[in-house]
Amino acid sequence: MQRVKFFKSIESELGNLEKEINQWLAESKAKIISITGNIAPQTGQTEIGSFSASDVFVVVMYEAAQ
């Protein structure tokens, strides 16, 4: 049976997101069907001349290990 796993982070923490996804993959031993992602740019300024980090969303379709 196919399943879906969602991961969410911000662009300034992509390294942590990568580690989280890789750790889940190693622990779950899931068979990956597809991985897609999206980045949602933020338009609001938090300080003069700087913008808040954009949201990053990753969707993993997989089959659970048997």
| The pLDDT value given to residue 45 | 58
Q: What is the dihedral of CA 20, 25, 27, 30, to 10 degrees?
A: 150
Per-residue pLDDT of the chain (66 residues; tens, 9 = 90+): 899 999 999 998 999 999 999 999 999 999 999 999 999 987 665 555 566 689 999 999 999 987
Please list, in sequence order, all residues whose beta carbon lies within 8 angstroms of the beta carbon of residue 14, skipping any fewer than 6 positions away.
56
| CA–CA gap between residue 62 and residue 66 (Å, rounded) | 12
Pinpoint the alpha helices (H) of the chain: 14-28
Reported pTM: 0.81
| The pLDDT value given to residue 65 | 82
The secondary element (H helix, E strand) that includes residue 6 is: strand 2-10
